[in-house]
Structure 1
Amino acid sequence: MATGSPLLVDCEDVAWFRDQPEAARGAAAALGRRIGLGDQRTAELTLAVTELATNMTKHAVDGSLLLRVLRNQEVAGVEVLAVDSGPGMADVPAALRDGMSTTGTLGIGLGAVRRLADTFDIHSQPGTGTVQLARFWPHPAHPTVAGEPVVGGITRPISGEQVCGDAWAARTDTGGQAAPADSDPGARPVQSGTPPHSWSALTGGRLPSERARTDPDHTPPLARAGTLSRSVPVQAAIPGPGQGLLVMSCDGLGHGPMAAVAAQAAVQAFRTGSARTPEQAMEHIHRALRGTRGAAVAVARLEPDGRLLFCGVGNITAALVTTTTRSTLVSYPGIVGHQMRQLRTYEHRLPPHGILVMHSDGLSERWKAADLNGLLHHAPAVIAAGLLRHAGTRRDDASAVVAKAAW
Structure 2
Amino acid sequence: MGQVRTGPLLVDCEDVAWFRDQADGARGAAAALGRRTGLGERRTAELGLAVAELVTNLAKHSVDGSLLLRAVRTADTAGVEVVVVDNGPGMPDVPAARLDGVSSVGTLGIGLGAIGRLADVFDVHSRPGHGTVQLARFWPRPVPRDLSGREPAVGGLTRPISGERVCGDAWATRVDPHRPEGDTGETGGRARTETAPDATPSATSWAALTGLASPARATGLSRSPVRPRESPRTVPVRAAVAGPGQGVMVMLCDGLGHGPMAALAGQAAVQAFRTSDSRLPEQAMQDIHRALRGTRGAAVAVARIEPDNGRLLFCGIGNITAALVTATTRSNLLSHPGIVGHQTHVPRTYEHPLPAHGALVMHSDGLTERWTPADLSGLLTHRATVLATGLMRQAGTRRDDASVVVAKELW
Report the TM-score, using the length of structure 1 for normalisation. Answer: 0.90
Indicate the residue corresponding to 1:397 in structure 2: 401
* Residue 210 (structure 2) pairs with residue 208 (structure 1): no
Q: CA deviation at 1:144?
A: 2.5
* Residue 249 (structure 2) pairs with residue 242 (structure 1): no
Q: CA deviation at 1:93?
A: 1.0
Trace 1:66-215 onto structure 2 (pairs within 5 A).
66-100=68-102, 108-146=110-148, 147-175=150-178, 177-179=184-186, 189-190=195-196, 207-209=216-218, 213-215=222-224
* Residue 333 (structure 2) pairs with residue 324 (structure 1): no
Trace 1:59-70 onto structure 2 (pairs within 5 A).
59-70=61-72
**In structure 2, distance between residues paired with 1:202 and 1:119:** 49
Question: Can you give the 5+ residue segments of structure 1 that lack an aligned partner in the other structure?
Answer: 192-200
**CA displacement, residues 236-272 of structure 1 (integer Å, 9 cap, x when unaligned):** 1111110100000100000000000000100011111
Q: Does structure 2 retain, via aligned residues, the 8 Å contact 1:99–1:109?
A: no
Give the SS at the match of 2:162: coil
Indicate the residue corresponding to 1:370 in structure 2: 374
Indicate the residue corresponding to 1:299 in structure 2: 302
Equivalent in 313, 330, 340 of residue 309 of structure 1: 313
Indicate the residue corresponding to 2:37 in structure 1: 35
**In structure 1, distance between residues paired with 2:319 and 2:88:** 30
Structure 1 residues 117 and 135, CA, compared in 2 at 3 Å: closer, same or farther? same
Indicate the residue corresponding to 1:388 in structure 2: 392
**In structure 2, distance between residues paired with 1:168 and 1:145:** 22
**In structure 1, distance between residues paired with 2:151 and 2:79:** 14
Q: Does structure 2 retain, via aligned residues, the 8 Å contact 1:202–1:334?
A: no
Indicate the residue corresponding to 2:275 in structure 1: 272
**In structure 2, distance between residues paired with 1:357 and 1:94:** 30
Indicate the residue corresponding to 1:352 in structure 2: 356
RMSD value over aligned CA atoms? 2.5
**In structure 2, distance between residues paired with 1:235 and 1:156:** 36
**CA displacement, residues 189-237 of structure 1 (integer Å, 9 cap, x when unaligned):** 239xxxxxxxxx788998424665434xx352x53xxx82511101111
**In structure 2, distance between residues paired with 1:377 and 1:136:** 21
Q: CA deviation at 1:178?
A: 3.4
Q: Does structure 2 retain, via aligned residues, the 8 Å contact 1:78–1:135?
A: yes
Q: Does structure 1 retain, via aligned residues, the 8 Å contact 2:17–2:69?
A: yes
Give the SS at the match of 1:309: strand
Give the SS at the match of 2:380: coil
**In structure 1, distance between residues paired with 2:48 and 2:152:** 23
Number of equivalenced pairs: 387
More moved, 144-153 vs 105-114: 105-114
**In structure 2, distance between residues paired with 1:174 and 1:288:** 24
Amino acid at match of 1:116: L
**CA displacement, residues 276-330 of structure 1 (integer Å, 9 cap, x when unaligned):** 0001110111111111111000000000222000000000000010001111111
Indicate the residue corresponding to 2:236 in structure 1: 233
Amino acid at match of 1:178: G
Q: CA deviation at 1:54?
A: 1.2
Q: Does structure 2 retain, via aligned residues, the 8 Å contact 1:17–1:24?
A: yes
Structure 1 residues 274 and 396, CA, compared in 2 at 3 Å: closer, same or farther? same
Amino acid at match of 2:156: G
**In structure 2, distance between residues paired with 1:301 and 1:406:** 12
Report the TM-score, using the length of structure 2 for normalisation. Answer: 0.89
More moved, 253-262 vs 25-34: 25-34
**In structure 1, distance between residues paired with 2:168 and 2:363:** 13
Q: Does structure 1 retain, via aligned residues, the 8 Å contact 2:304–2:314?
A: yes
